[in-house]
Amino acid sequence: MLSNSKKIIVTDKVHYSLSERLNKYGFTTVTKEGITRNELIEILPEFEGIILRSRIIFDKELVERGINLRFIARAGSGMENIDTACAESKGIVCINSPEGNRDSVGELALGLVLSLLHNINKSAIETKNGKWNRKINRGNELKNKIIGIIGYGNTGSAFAKKIQGLDVEILAYDKYKTGFTDKYVKEVEMSEIFKYADIVSLHIPLNEETKYLANNNFFNSFYKTIIFINTSRGPIVNTAALADAIKTGKVKAAGLDVLEYENTAFESLSIDNDIYDFLCKNDNVIITPHIAGLSYESEERHAEILAEKIIKLYDSSQIENRKQM
């Protein structure tokens, strides 16, 4: 148990169990949902910890303003809105909770694959509009398909585990990991995914290396016509290149839970082009509003995981050690 109260600010909606557990441990949590950047700048020096989501861009200015910060915690997986390099250079520990929504993301990715193969979304809309089209909505089975997973971390491995029981072969590529072949996947180079994959699913973070990874060259490298799934981050995909790949037949169907047109908090879109209209009007494209990791269960797990990690930091004296570096 902490000897003195430690102040933590929570800037976005997280499950109430996070504050409950931290308060019991001896922290003082101050919740200010919707706090503006300017408001945060004013009060940030009062806190030694901050818990946020995607809305606030925690850049160098905020890191330097947080003169008493010991940790920055992201309730979720992606850390692209935090200048982690700057924070860590000042001894501030950066943590997140990618384990919290991996099952939710894996399930939705599988759902997109099945819906596209069997025309579930398309035929459901037609039926509600009075059209009973059986033959043109004949589907394809997932069995014996080759799945290519790009990124074999939390969500990539969860997706593999869920789809593996459906009689598929799974190839996985991860630039930053080796030796991860297991009972679900075979580790391969990217060239093998280009050559063999029928279905490709992205499970990678957004950073300078991965922005627009899926560009014209990427789509044109596939030997087969693929089904393309993205549940990671929108700007990893060059949407114009995806639209071109659909038009030329390199991509026969796409399931997109994320788009490059999203704002930083993922709560709205900024669209002023014909590409989005093309995707929306295409029967072989499903777009969902960044909900893959947004299950009720994952919200609670994020809170549990972050509380555990924050408490562990203090119990292990890791924070004190880092601050002395």
Q: Which active-site residues does the annotation give?
A: 233, 262, 290
Burial of 166 (0-12, 13-18, 19+ CB in 10 A): middle
Encode 129-158: b = buried (16+ Cβ within 10 Å), e = exposed: eeeeeeeebeeeebeebbbbbbbbbbbbbb
Q: With contact defined as beta carbons under 8 Å apart, do 70 and 323 qualify?
A: yes
Burial of 65 (0-12, 13-18, 19+ CB in 10 A): middle
Q: How far apart are CA 242 and CA 214, in angstroms?
A: 8
Q: With contact defined as beta carbons under 8 Å apart, do 138 and 86 qualify?
A: no
3-class state of residue 272 by DSSP: coil
Q: How far apart are CA 191 and CA 173, in angstroms?
A: 9
In sequence order, the 6+-apart residues with CB closer than 8 A to the CB of 185 are 149, 152, 157, 160, 164, 170, 171, 172
Q: How far apart are CA 52 and CA 144, in angstroms?
A: 42
Q: How far apart are CA 124 and CA 106, in angstroms?
A: 23
Q: What are phi and psi of 70, to 5 degrees?
A: -110, -25
